[in-house]
Amino acid sequence: MFRHKTTLLFAIAIGAGGLAIWYSTRPRPIPVQVRPAALGTVEQTVVNTRAGTVKACRRARLSLATGGIIASLKVHEGDRVERGQRLLELWNRDLQAQLRLNRAEVEAVAATAVAACLKAEVAQREADRLRPLRKSGAVSEEKLDQLATTASSLRADCESANTRVRIAQLTSDVTLAQIEKTRLRAPFDGIVAEVNGELFEYTTPSPPGIPTPPAVDLIDDACFYVTAPIDEVDAARIAVDQRARVTLDAFDEREFDGRVRRIAPYVLDREKQARTVDVEVEFTKPGEISELLAGYSADVEIILERAENTLRVPAAAVVDGDRLYLLNESEGVVEERRIESGLSNWDHMQVLSGIEAGDLIITSVDREGVEDGAPAMREEQETK
């Protein structure tokens, strides 16, 4: 009896020791991060290779067509101006005096023309009055010819005087045009970004082919767009009017809605840089651009395709483009699944088949030991 008890106790001790050895040497569950597969929106997008730039739809770097001393400077940097407003004017008193002289000459020549035309009318009436008397012999043929010749001569004087009036008016217009060359006006409503020059300084026009600072740099702040370089490989998939999102460093995570308005018809080949195509994206919500400034750096994300209410998983969880690791919580193991993928971007990938909504997708696929059949558990359980 004692021997049987001893044998039983010995067997229990061996079993307990074996259980302890198994427990201490068994594979420990790998803590993994998971996210359930869910329905959502997936977009196929293209992004710029280098930072883009916010530009004004209209920007004029204005300069005068002639040189001279600045006599009037009506604006300063940051001022808002209206179309046609005078911004700057050179000293032009000599031209103003010339214009007054021209206009006086117009008046004098016009008075001479009136007198010449009146004389022509009187001579013509005299010839017309005496012509019936020729039949009765009261007026000789010679006398009538003289009157007709005089009337024709005076009509020519009238026409010549009117021509001189037009010439004098054109001379006045030439002087007025020369005066306008000394004045700089705003071609559109906008904001003055830069002014180069001060009162009484001498300014000169830009020589042909040699860029010089503008007298006034004017920006139309009612319209902005972004120009951004897109890799030549992606450019072929972009089309005008495609939706886009714009982000700016100055506004952190905020996104601005836009659309593609132009695709450059050529590829830029710059040294030590990828070949790119410039794409222009305009802002579609006018209320947002009031906060923008020309010159901001910007990034664009052009939406090529969009699938809504579709099954999606984190893009970082997909291995080799067609495999996922799932956590089977009931059995505490990792399961590998083959999937058929669809649209994708940096954040999500569309799954057409292979999993269902609610499946726990392992996102920490780079952890050691994550493979099909490996024991695993949620990381937050391990933390607890």
Domain ranges of the chain: 42-56+223-383, 63-90+182-219, 93-180
Beta carbons of 75 and 195 less than 8 angstroms apart: yes
Q: How far apart are CA 194 and CA 200, in angstroms?
A: 18
Which range is most confident: 129-133, 175-179, 218-222? 175-179
In terms of Cβ atoms closer than 10 Å to its own Cβ (0-12, 13-18, 19+), residue 30 is buried
Reported as a pLDDT band with limits 50, 70 and 90, residue 382 is: very low
pTM of model > 0.75: no
Q: Is residue 28's pLDDT more than 80? A: no
The pLDDT of residue 384: 36
CA 333, 314, 339 angle in degrees (round to 5)? Answer: 65
Beta carbons of 187 and 218 less than 8 angstroms apart: yes
Coil, strand or helix at 134: helix
Reported as a pLDDT band with limits 50, 70 and 90, residue 26 is: low
Q: Of 88-92, 93-97, 104-108, 141-145, where does mean pLDDT reach its minimum?
A: 141-145
Q: Of 241-245, 316-320, 368-372, where does mean pLDDT reach its minimum?
A: 368-372
Angle between helices 141-180 and 93-130 (to 10 degrees): 160
The pLDDT of residue 278: 94
Q: Is residue 22's pLDDT more than 70? A: no
Beta carbons of 42 and 342 less than 8 angstroms apart: yes
Which range is most confident: 191-200, 270-279, 286-295? 191-200
The pLDDT of residue 381: 46
Range list of β-strands (E), 109-249: 183-185, 190-195, 202-203, 216-219, 224-231, 243-248
Over residues 215-236, mean pLDDT: 91
DSSP 28: P
Beta carbons of 376 and 327 less than 8 angstroms apart: yes
Q: What is the DSSP string of 305-372?
A: EEEEEEEEEEGGG-BTTTEEEEEETTTTEEEEEE-EEEEE-SSEEEEEES--TT-EEE--TTSTT-ST
- CATH topology for 42-56+223-383 is Elongation Factor Tu (Ef-tu); domain 3 (2.40.30)
The pLDDT of residue 203: 87
Reported as a pLDDT band with limits 50, 70 and 90, residue 89 is: very high
Q: Of 91-95, 113-117, 138-142, 162-166, where does mean pLDDT reach its minimum?
A: 138-142
Q: What is the dihedral sign for C-alpha 116, 121, 125, 127?
A: positive
Q: How far apart are CA 331 and CA 343, in angstroms?
A: 32
The pLDDT of residue 161: 86
Reported as a pLDDT band with limits 50, 70 and 90, residue 137 is: low
Reported as a pLDDT band with limits 50, 70 and 90, residue 10 is: low
- By C-alpha distance, which of 284, 349, 355, 248 is closest to 44? 349
Angular region, 320: left φ>0, alpha ψ -120 to 50, beta rest: left
Which of 3.90.1170.50, 2.40.50.100, 2.60.120.1270, 3.40.50.720 is the CATH number of 63-90+182-219?
2.40.50.100
Percent of residues, the chain, with pLDDT higher than 70: 87
In which element (H, E) is residue 99 found?
A: helix 93-130
